[in-house]
Chain A
Amino acid sequence: MKRFRIILLVLSLACVGLCLSCGKGNADGKTSARKPATVSLPDDYAMTQVELRLAQTGAPYLDINFAEKELWLKLKGAVVWSCPISLVDVNSDALQAFVKKFQGGERRYVRPVVEKHLFSSREKTPDSVLKIVGEVVKVDPGLLQREIPARFQLVWEDGLILEIRTDIKGNQKTSFRNTLINLSQTLQKPFGEVTLIISMTPEEAMTLYRISNPGFPTMIHPPL
């Protein structure tokens, strides 16, 4: 009977220990907490180093995290904006192609945005309202206006495109260059240009559109 009690006590202690160690693993904000076992050591090291460099700059950066299926804007390592990666065409193999192209032969984890194209958008507040507000606060109404993008693209070198769509009906930007860009992208598709199309809310798109100018650093966490 005594031996049985001792065994029971040892088993209980083991259970408590196991629970405590699981709890520690889920602590918030720790790098190691979400690291999947399948990421190789050199890859994990490269991603951590890249992020550390970006975080130390004190400027915001974009983390396309396919492992967590989220886009994150980060500042000094802290997530300041997040949005789920919602693919418009879930059956396409564009995601794999995008990651492969992003990493290239040298297994890169970071690239700067080199261009962005706005195809259609809507004004956040009517100009007539901003005119009145501008008079009250004594500011040029043009400074107060925000555009909500309906469709825009972020472009990286080597024909890598992330297209963002929202569910608002925007006014087409009928500029000559946008028409030519559409045509050029159609022509270049068979020659290795990769376009990944995702959707997000207008509010999320507005933040991403406004912050990601040419030179904006982007890092990637490949899918598991």
Chain B
Amino acid sequence: MIRTIIYSVLAVVVVAIAALLWYTRTPSEDDIKSNLPVRLDSLSQLSTNPKLAQKELKTAQKALDKLRPTTAYVVIDTHASKIYLRTRDSVLLKADCSTGTGGELIDSVTHRKWIFDTPRGVFKVNSKITQPWWRKPDWAFIEDGEKIPKSEKERLDPAMMGDYAIGFGNGYFIHGTIYERLLGVNVTHGCVRVGADDLDKLFKKIQMGTPIYIF
């Protein structure tokens, strides 16, 4: 009788552990392979000839170096809402910023749709503007429930973008803001807002063509 009880308890424990391990099992790489950007197990083998091997290594290193920036570059961390000017080894400037909300807006009349995200990837500074004026796009009026004006004059706002704007393509800018208290929160329509003092330092330190990395 006691033996039966012990065996039953042991069986329950074994089944429970097996169920626990099954339920918490780690997925295999095969399960998530579709998310991988490249096949990573297809590396070519190095030549057995030492001279040739050295040459192959140098070629690979040169190709990698070619991708890397050669000057200081801007980094925008949309996850922590931070902007940096940095080199590989040191951070030259670090500041709070605000990036896109990720929200969307649909115009109920025309059914046009906007997604307010900051683009990710590698860009370059393609314009540097002092005292920029904001030309309000259609979505700014639709969002406020206002009629879209016919006159260009009614679209212009001289205060919204602060003292400087740094363009990086497709209508996206790093610029100042009148809402400095919201820095650190992702509240923008896709542009990157920076506080006045930090923007001043950043603007003076970058040149046309400076790389901008956004992740």
Of residues 108 to 140 in A, which have CB atoms within 8 Å of B's CB atoms? 108, 110-112, 114-115, 125, 130, 133, 137-140
Does any Cβ of B come within 8 Å of A73's Cβ? yes
Q: CA A130 – CA B33 in complex, angstroms?
A: 37
Q: A108 — which chain B residues lie within 8 A by C-beta?
A: 41
Residues of A within 8 A of B77 (CB): 80-81, 207
Q: How many chain B residues touch the partner (CB < 8 A)? A: 61
Is the CB of A184 closer than 8 A to any CB of chain B? yes
Also in contact, A187 and B40, with CB within 8 A (given A76-B67, A138-B143, A210-B79): no
Q: Which segment of B18-26, B151-159, B201-209 sits at the interface?
A: B18-26
Q: In whole angstroms, what is the CA distance A188 to B21 when docked? A: 9
The CA-CA distance from A43 to B79 in the complex, in Å, is 33
CB of A29 within 8 A of CB of B70, answer: yes
Tell which of A2-10, A49-57, A166-174 binds the partner: A49-57
- How many angstroms between the C-alpha atoms of A215 and B81 in the bound complex? 24
A13 an interface residue at 8 Å Cβ cutoff?
A: no
Q: A75 interface residue, CB < 8 Å from B?
A: yes
Is A50 in contact with B213, judged by CB distance below 8 angstroms?
no
Stretch in A84-92, A94-102, A175-183 with 4+ CB within 8 Å of B: A175-183
Interface residues on A, range: 35 or more
Q: Say yes or no: A58 contacts B64, CB within 8 Å.
A: no
Known contacts A41-B54, A125-B185, A144-B185; A114/B32 CB under 8 A: yes
A35-68: which have CB < 8 Å to B? 41-42, 44-46, 48-60
Q: Which residues of B come within 8 Å of A, CB atoms?
A: 17, 20-21, 23-24, 26-29, 31-38, 40-41, 43-44, 46, 50, 53-54, 56-57, 60-61, 63-65, 67-70, 73, 75, 77, 79-82, 86-89, 101-103, 121-122, 143, 182, 184-187, 211, 213, 215
Which residues from chain A sit less than 8 Å from chain B, CB to CB?
Answer: 28-32, 41-42, 44-46, 48-60, 73, 75-81, 108, 110-112, 114-115, 125, 130, 133, 137-140, 143-144, 146, 155, 157, 159, 177, 180-181, 183-184, 187-188, 203, 206-207, 210-211, 213-217
